[in-house]
Amino acid sequence: MSHHHQHHHGEEGCCQTTARVGKPVENFTLETFDPEEGFFGEVSLEKIRESKKWTILFFYPADFTFVCPTELADLASKHEALKALGCEVVAISTDTKFAHMAWHGSEKLMAGVRYKMAADPTGKVSRYFGVYDEATGLALRGTFIINPDGVLVGSEVNFYNVGRNAEELGRKMDANLYLSTHPGEACPARWSPGAKTLTPSEKLVGKVYEALNS
């Protein structure tokens, strides 16, 4: 009965098989290796939400590969700033928590990584976020931003061969935070704190240049 009920719910659009921007994200729990504490634990989207934090999920293909440690080190350089904005940063691959621990201990580029490293060996969460590659069993380079209400507000997915830029992730978080307290406004391209925003209205139609340059 409950299974049928859930299925019926899904048809109504409360839940979906793939996370979608602008829609609530289903709860999930993953085992983690926590480099800061040096021990295993777990991460739960529900718990992060309860603490009123933003969630940043940083999927990457695999431990012990080549572009991945450069990305995780780049993200580590922004970790303190993201934490200060109220974000919980979680890196995720389909490796086990044991592989995470071994890689963190042996790769010098990983020395600055202090955020949790989550294990998704069955690919369940990677599939839900649309980054699971059936051909390899690995996750594509996907970055997802979930607001404190549990709604997916940002999604970026790259193929294996292109690394991301944590600077841009920080900029997106600055914009998301600003808009969370200024819901009537919109942030234009390349917006950073202190820059002009746009207030959508009839007056703005065809006059965006004037609004930004007045």
Q: What are the catalytic residues?
A: 68
With contact defined as beta carbons under 8 Å apart, do 188 and 198 qualify?
yes
Give the tokens for residue 183: 């819901």
* Integer Cα distance of 47 and 175 in angstroms: 24
3-state helix, strand, coil in the chain (%, to 5): 35, 25, 40
Torsion sign, CA atoms 92, 85, 76, 154: positive
Determine the 3-state secondary structure of 121 from DSSP. Answer: coil
What tokens does 171 get? 């900029």
Residue 214 to residue 211: CA distance in whole angstroms:
6
Provide the 3-class DSSP secondary structure of residue 150. Answer: coil
6 SS3 class: helix
